Amino acid sequence: MPLILPVEDKNPQIGDNCFIAENATIVGDVVIGKNCSIWFTAVVRGDVNSIHIGDRTNIQDGAVIHCTYKKAATGIGNDVSIGHRAIVHGCSIKDRALVGMGAIVMDDVVVEEDCIIAAGAVVLEKTICEAGHIYAGIPAKKIKKLSEAQIANLKKTAANYIMYSKWFREE
């Protein structure tokens, strides 16, 4: 059973038709939209600030979503994919973005719509990642504009995770 705990009278709110893996952790001031999935060993820790996650978003295995005390909340939009072991901290991830496996997105970053943060990238504080582009490296830099097919694939990836989560739900 997942660990879902209040912190200082703030209870996580989880939308309809979500899959929460049995060893995921969700605590504190967390709002999760509809049709989302929080995968194995993922941690969504809204203890020091708020975390808001939109609809149809997936937080994959081992990812950590956190924020900064009294400074930087975390907002994640709709149809977002947060890759395995990624760290998303005190930032804003807009709709249809993908944060690759092992990437780190730091405080006050804005990842705009239809954007990819490559696997292993480190996006430094206060960076604005422009819509429709891929960012890679340490520190992350804009690499190239995404093709229409790549942009379409962002929403498809999120939809696939809705399908995968159905394999684990008791219905």
pLDDT tens readout for residues 106-163:
999 999 999 999 999 999 999 999 999 999 999 999 999 999 999 999 999 999 999 9
Global confidence as pTM: 0.97
Q: How confident is the model at residue 169 (pLDDT cuts 50, 70, 90)?
A: confident
HSE-up (13 A, CA, CB side) for residue 134: 15
Residue 115: inside a domain, yes or no?
yes
- Per-residue pLDDT for 164 more than 80? yes
pLDDT tens readout for residues 53-75:
999 999 999 999 999 999 999 99
Residue 73: inside a domain, yes or no?
yes
For residue 22, count other CB atoms closer than 10 A to its CB.
9
Expressed as residue numbers, the domain containing 8 is 3-166
Q: How many domains does the chain have?
A: 1
- Residue 47 is part of a domain; what is its CATH number? 2.160.10.10
Residue 171: inside a domain, yes or no?
no
